[in-house]
Amino acid sequence: MSPKTLYDKIWDAHVAHEADDGTCLLYIDRHLVHEVTSPQAFEGLRMAGRPVRAPEKTIAVPDHNVPTTADRVNGIENPESRIQVEALDKNAKDFGIHYYPVNDVRQGIVHIVGPEQGWTLPGMTVVCGDSHTATHGAFGALAHGIGTSEVEHVLATQTLIQKKSKNMKVEITGKLQPGVTAKDITLAVIGETGTAGGTGYVIEYCGEAIRDLSMEGRMTVCNMAIEGGARAGLIAPDETTFEYVKGRPHAPKGAQWEAALTWWKTLFTDEDAHFDKVITLRGEDIAPVVTWGTSPEDVLPITATVPQPEDFEGGKVEAARRSIEYMGLEAGQKLSDVEIDTVFIGSCTNGRIEDLRAAAEILKGKKIKDGMRAMVVPGSGLVRAQAEEEGLAEIFKEAGFEWRLAGCSMCLAMNPDQLQPGERCAATSNRNFEGRQGRGGRTHLLSPAMAAAAAITGRLTDVRELM
Amino acid sequence: MEKFDKVHGVAAPMPLINIDTDMIIPKVHLKTIKRSGLGVVLFDEMRYHDHGGENEDFVLNKPAYRQTEILVAGDNFGCGSSREHAPWAIKDFGIKVVISTSFADIFFNNCFKNGILPIVVEEEHHAILMDDAHKGENARMTVHLEDQQITTSDGVVIEFDIDPHRKHCLLNGLDDIGLTMEKDHHIDKFEDHASQARPWV
């Protein structure tokens, strides 16, 4: 048998039908659903009189629209947001799918809830009407975002019409330097490949620096695979993975656990398997990074300066000029001189317990700069509870951070957590697009520790100075 | 779904690279539970001023491009969020074809589900089409799906590739779910097999 990549193995285990031209029906093991990209899909099912084929494999949770202030227990004020969340309440009930409503302690960002509850397991196919579904690839699951028509397709048939992507290997060798995190790895990779560099590929991340990461860190890395254009990001499961999964509410138990483990241990790339593209970075070379522009590929070490548009080639010259103008920066300006007024810690990229620990470590015993608006939005109600138990919430509050309830919040600003025009935010989220965090708002992406450092000094800051 | 055959219409140039789906339709317009009516907010933040009113410098607001049916866009069009509201807004505006040197994966898939034809062309051809699109409304481009050809206003013919299955579905206006349900027995068979092999799923 010819050697296979991890992606090949998971793909092969899920092909329900293959047409002569290579178009496949790929069986989906887990379908995650949220309130923004699903109402039209459920409406489509109703109009065609179709049921959900596998409600037991379908999990819904509202996250994009939900307010994160304590008063949300009294209902959602914005009428449009309320309608979307109520539609999900009703659709979950009518179609009999698993559901974590807004006021359930297990509610949170769909990509944090799935792994936390043990819905996401190695070797699975996982989809969701959300591009950051790539997160689940951290478990060695083939996970990717889909559009609403495909959400309807999966609800109706539990399959997707797919053609296989190409294989890409991203290897991070060696050890990371102090102050460098999973977020810096994933941003550095996008800086290297560009936002279209992964288009047409599924990425497998490997190497010592990846192996050394916790599951939380691996989820951060895979989460942003989509920002590099890849369909999905994967990391082969190992003891770290099994340890995380074991005992979760929906993880297999007893004899089933043993059977699962036996299969999971076969999920790795065979020696000599073929990759269509290979990128290698040395872990030691990765510095704490920030973004300066309006594309996630606009990444530089915090010690660098804003580039000159002329440093680029082709269409990127104009794009860089536009970005620098939108961001209110000047070419040649030191990134560590850029003053910020808002800090956002949270999102499916960096809203897990380890992220909050890293930020709290920097903030302990310190205060945020006067006038700074800083908020922590835990990724789920359970992350929030754990952070309170560990005393992290107190550290954030004493430093001057707002301590919020779980949701997507200011990552995409569909709820009331938004930037005003011209405001500048150090954000642990995943996109720095124009207007992403609010019309006219300016976003610098960075790690939770870097965000904490920026909150203290009031400017983009090399976290190593505060360690 | 409507059948896709041939488009003969105005092509608008948007050379900016990395146009993301947040630019195509910002999140404030994702709160709808319908698919229709989003054309008016297509490219919202570029198309309208902060205080309201149209930005007359934006290409689709120029008199020559108000009836645009073909968009010639910069590289990596449609990157970012998976929101299908982006192709819904494009379709609702009246755009039926988007041409670029590359598209983001999810956006590319979403187009086909909505009867929009995304075409990938080589850089050299892209430059010719971008030039043609800059000529305004008197210069109409033709996109012929059956023949897989784009014809510029001055008669230059550029051929393009398309996946045969997708071409077939667009030409015939076929609904994916209906097609897949015809293969229901394969899915049943797979589920039987998988429930033995991986009972914990």
Of the candidates B16, B104, B110, the beta carbon closest to that of A199 is on: B104
Q: What is the mean pLDDT of residues A311-326?
A: 97
- Separation CA A364–CA A175 (nearest Å): 26
Q: Are strands B140-144 and B149-151 parallel, antiparallel or unpaired?
A: antiparallel
Task: Tell me: pLDDT of B1 over 90.
Answer: no
Q: Tell whether A263 lies on the interface with B, counting CB pairs under 8 A.
A: yes
Q: Which amino acid is at A322?
A: R
Tens of pLDDT along A244-270?
A: 999 999 999 999 999 999 999 999 999
Task: Tell me: pLDDT of B52 over 90.
Answer: no
Contact A153 B176 (CB under 8 A): yes
C-beta neighbour count of A262 within 10 angstroms: 9
- Separation CA A112–CA A380 (nearest Å): 7
Q: Tell whether A181 lies on the interface with B, counting CB pairs under 8 A.
A: no
Q: What is the mean pLDDT of residues A306-317?
A: 97
Contact A129 B82 (CB under 8 A): yes
Q: A205 forms bridges with which residues in the sheet?
A: A170
Cβ contacts (< 8 Å) between A229 and chain B: which residues? 76, 79, 104-105
Asked whether the beta carbons of A316 and A283 are under 8 A apart, the reply is no
Asked whether the beta carbons of A251 and A118 are under 8 A apart, the reply is yes
Q: What is the predicted pLDDT for the residue at B81?
A: 95
Cβ contacts (< 8 Å) between B201 and chain A: which residues? 29, 57, 121, 124
Query: How close A403 gets to chain B, by Cα (Å)?
Result: 24
- Residue A343: name the closest of A253, A458, A441 by CA: A458
Tens of pLDDT along B119-151?
A: 999 999 999 999 999 999 888 999 999 999 999
The residue ranges of DSSP E strands in A264-335, in sequence order, are: 277-282, 289-291, 299-301
Tens of pLDDT along A365-423?
A: 999 999 999 999 999 999 999 999 999 999 999 999 999 999 999 999 999 999 999 99
Q: What is the predicted pLDDT for the residue at B111?
A: 97
Where residue A344 falls among pLDDT bands split at 50, 70, 90?
very high
CATH 3.40.1060.10 domain range(s) in chain A = 166-237+268-285
CATH 3.30.499.10 domain range(s) in chain A = 6-163, 291-466
Compute φ and ψ for A29, nearest 5 degrees: -85, -35
Of the candidates B22, B84, B200, the beta carbon closest to that of A149 is on: B84
> Helix A79-95 vs helix A39-48: angle between axes, to the nearest 10 degrees?
50
Q: What is the predicted pLDDT for the residue at A74?
A: 92
Please tell me whether residue A171 adopts helix, strand or coil conformation: strand
**Is residue B1 included in any domain, yes or no?**
no
SS3 content of chain A, % helix, strand, coil (to 5): 40, 20, 40
Contact A315 B15 (CB under 8 A): yes
**Is residue B128 included in any domain, yes or no?**
yes
Tens of pLDDT along B53-94?
A: 999 999 999 999 999 999 999 999 999 999 999 999 999 999
> Helix B164-172 vs helix B105-112: angle between axes, to the nearest 10 degrees?
40
The residue ranges of DSSP E strands in A283-354, in sequence order, are: 289-291, 299-301, 342-346
Chain A interface test: which of B79, B107, B184 (most A C-beta within 10 Å)? B79
Cβ contacts (< 8 Å) between B27 and chain A: which residues? 412-414
The CATH number assigned to the domain holding B177 equals 3.20.19.10
Q: What is the mean pLDDT of residues B35-48?
A: 96
Q: What is the predicted pLDDT for the residue at A159?
A: 98
Tens of pLDDT along A29-51?
A: 999 999 999 999 999 999 999 99
Q: Is the dihedral of CA B23, B24, B27, B29 positive or negative?
A: positive
Output DSSP code: residue A158: S
Residue A339 has which token pair?
Answer: 């003053």
Contact B109 A124 (CB under 8 A): no
Cβ contacts (< 8 Å) between B186 and chain A: which residues? 16-17, 25
Query: Mean pLDDT across chain A, nearest whole number?
Result: 97
Tell me how many domains chain B contains: 1
- Residue A302: name the closest of A288, A321, A312 by CA: A288
- Residue A172: name the closest of A299, A6, A283 by CA: A283
Query: How close B156 gets to chain A, by Cα (Å)?
Result: 24
Chain A interface test: which of B33, B50, B116 (most A C-beta within 10 Å)? B33
- Separation CA B17–CA B102 (nearest Å): 10
Q: How far is CA A399 from CA A179, A339, A387, A422, in A?
A: 20, 19, 15, 25
Output DSSP code: residue A404: -
Chain A segment 361-400 residues within 8 A of B by beta carbon are none
Q: What is the predicted pLDDT for the residue at B138?
A: 80
A291-466 is classed in which CATH architecture?
2-Layer Sandwich (3.30)
Task: Tell me: pLDDT of A1 over 90.
Answer: no
Of the candidates A124, A129, A195, the beta carbon closest to that of B18 is on: A195
Nearest chain A residue to B108 by CA distance is A147
Cβ contacts (< 8 Å) between B102 and chain A: which residues? 196, 199
Contact A196 B104 (CB under 8 A): yes
Strand A402-403's sheet: what is its strand order?
A402-403, A373-377, A342-346, A424-427, A442-445
- Separation CA A205–CA A218 (nearest Å): 9
Query: Mean pLDDT across chain B, nearest whole number?
Result: 96
**Is residue B90 included in any domain, yes or no?**
yes
Q: What is the predicted pLDDT for the residue at B33?
A: 92
Q: What is the predicted pLDDT for the residue at A191?
A: 96
Tens of pLDDT along A229-247?
A: 999 999 999 999 999 999 9
Asked whether the beta carbons of A416 and A434 are under 8 A apart, the reply is no
- Residue B172: name the closest of B115, B110, B97, B94 by CA: B115
Q: What is the predicted pLDDT for the residue at A122?
A: 98
Asked whether the beta carbons of B71 and B98 are under 8 A apart, the reply is yes
Angle formed at CA B68 by CA B64 and CA B70, multiple of 5 degrees: 130
Chain B interface test: which of A42, A161, A168 (most B C-beta within 10 Å)? A161
Query: How close A71 gets to chain B, by Cα (Å)?
Result: 21
Cβ contacts (< 8 Å) between B127 and chain A: which residues? none
Asked whether the beta carbons of A232 and A142 are under 8 A apart, the reply is yes
Cβ contacts (< 8 Å) between A152 and chain B: which residues? 177
Please tell me whether residue B4 adopts helix, strand or coil conformation: coil
Cβ contacts (< 8 Å) between A150 and chain B: which residues? 109-110, 113
Cβ contacts (< 8 Å) between A436 and chain B: which residues? 22
Task: Tell me: pLDDT of B2 over 90.
Answer: no
Q: Which amino acid is at A405?
A: L
Please tell me whether residue A55 adopts helix, strand or coil conformation: helix
Q: Tell whether A256 lies on the interface with B, counting CB pairs under 8 A.
A: yes
Q: Which CATH superfamily is domain A6-163 in?
A: Aconitase, domain 3 (3.30.499.10)
Tens of pLDDT along A271-285?
A: 999 999 999 999 999
Class of domain A166-237+268-285: alpha beta
Q: What is the pTM of this model?
A: 0.96
Contact B106 A196 (CB under 8 A): no
Query: How close B65 gets to chain A, by Cα (Å)?
Result: 22
Q: How far is CA A302 from CA A305, A463, B97, in A?
A: 8, 9, 41
Q: Which amino acid is at B37?
A: G
Its domain, for residue B16, covers: 6-197
The residue ranges of DSSP E strands in A177-231, in sequence order, are: 201-206
Of the candidates B105, B181, B201, the beta carbon closest to that of A231 is on: B105
Please tell me whether residue A7 adopts helix, strand or coil conformation: helix
Strand B68-73's sheet: what is its strand order?
B117-120, B97-100, B68-73, B6-14, B140-144, B149-151, B157-159
Nearest chain B residue to A131 by CA distance is B82
Asked whether the beta carbons of A30 and A114 are under 8 A apart, the reply is yes
Query: How close B180 gets to chain A, by Cα (Å)?
Result: 7
Chain A segment 325-364 residues within 8 A of B by beta carbon are none
Task: Tell me: pLDDT of B175 over 90.
Answer: no
- Separation CA A434–CA B80 (nearest Å): 12
> Helix A148-157 vs helix A39-48: angle between axes, to the nearest 10 degrees?
50
Asked whether the beta carbons of A362 and A456 are under 8 A apart, the reply is yes
Where residue B51 falls among pLDDT bands split at 50, 70, 90?
confident
- Separation CA A137–CA A128 (nearest Å): 13
Chain A interface test: which of B20, B23, B181 (most A C-beta within 10 Å)? B20
Tell me the Ramachandran region of residue A440: left when phi exceeds 0, alpha when psi lies from -120 to 50, beta otherwise.
Answer: left
Nearest chain B residue to A118 by CA distance is B201
Q: What is the predicted pLDDT for the residue at A34?
A: 98
Q: How far is CA A91 from CA A94, A211, A253, B31, in A?
A: 5, 40, 30, 16
- Separation CA A300–CA A319 (nearest Å): 16
Nearest chain B residue to A315 by CA distance is B17
